Chains A and B, each alone.
Chain A
């Protein structure tokens, strides 16, 4: 999933401080799963904003809506009946969702209420960790199914640096040394000798090197 975290309230408040009516839009997909921008978080943020404005003697009307998928035009369309009644839209979706709303409603101010973080997985309830960097040319098959691009602080492709200690990364004890994980996995699979195959310099043109990326499925494209 794409993970996110709510922005500091002061920043959110600052972006809509001159507004009287706001549409607060969540998303039912990734940000719901990582508890950043689903229906619940929308309600919490609405309540907090409401209290903040009231406390300062100002009024704010908030309409809460949580779309099935904010990165999909057919769901974004559901905002159309309400968009004319508000001064701005506050989106709790990831950056993709925010921009879909922007693309559909050209003349409306849209602000993000979350910081989009990374593509990750639920490590345990309440904890999400980065897993994929979207490099565009998956090499998990070479590294025992564990990604050094997303999970090594220096994205080293040929083994651990000299700072790996007790299974942890030199950057922080909260970070597992991914090369320790890869090595352990290679041993479990009995493929340790594969470690010594040099992984050639990565072609980053499939990542950001080639500019903004696009996927076109000819059979589906309209």
Chain B
């Protein structure tokens, strides 16, 4: 059987995680190529619907990466993001999707190693969970027509 390579969407704050990811690259640290990075101006800019849509469109895991506690460039965007992640996790639980598919992580811009490590660990965790059940359905059938 083919090894399952999970698709991970990582919403990365421009001021920390995005730079850390960049640094991981320049440090030649390896992390799975399937981690798709979306640069955002602040983790607090990631809305609940973005997390939901990522999963709905087939991502196997979603990571929201913001600044360390107290270090948000916009004061408290990271704590807002953490609350939203917790909110969506509950919603996922209600529809029987593992809440572990969504996670909130924090780091500073200089933590290239940490980024790579987290990316690897999260990918491994999702690999253990298996494919997003929604994604499997997506592959099996063409997208439904929109009403009107």
Which residues of A approach B to under 8 Å, CB–CB? 8-10, 13, 21, 23, 40, 43-44, 47-48, 50-52, 54-55, 57, 59-63, 81-82, 85-86
Contacts and interface: CB of A to CB of B under 8 A. Distances in A.
A9 B96 CA distance: 10
Nearest to A54: B137
A66 to B, nearest CB: 13
Which of A43, A47, A48, A82 lies at the interface centre, i.e. has the most chain B CB atoms within 10 A of its CB? A47
What is the size category of the interface that chain B forms with chain A? Answer: 20 to 34
Given A51-B134, A54-B133, A86-B147, 15 more contacts: A9-B95, A21-B147, A23-B147, A40-B47, A44-B48, A44-B91, A48-B91, A51-B95, A54-B56, A54-B134, A54-B137, A55-B95, A55-B137, A61-B144, A63-B147
B55 A51 contact: yes
Q: Sorted from nearest, which 9 A-B pairs have the closest CB atoms?
A: A63-B147, A54-B137, A47-B52, A9-B94, A52-B95, A55-B133, A59-B144, A54-B134, A51-B134
B52 A55 contact: no
A43 B49 contact: yes
Interface of A, helix, strand, loop or mixed by DSSP: helix
Contacts of A21: 147
B134 A55 contact: yes
Nearest to B143: A59
Which of A13, A55, A61 lies at the interface centre, i.e. has the most chain B CB atoms within 10 A of its CB? A55
Interface string B118-148: 0000000000000001100110110011111
B79 to A, nearest CB: 13
A81 B147 contact: no
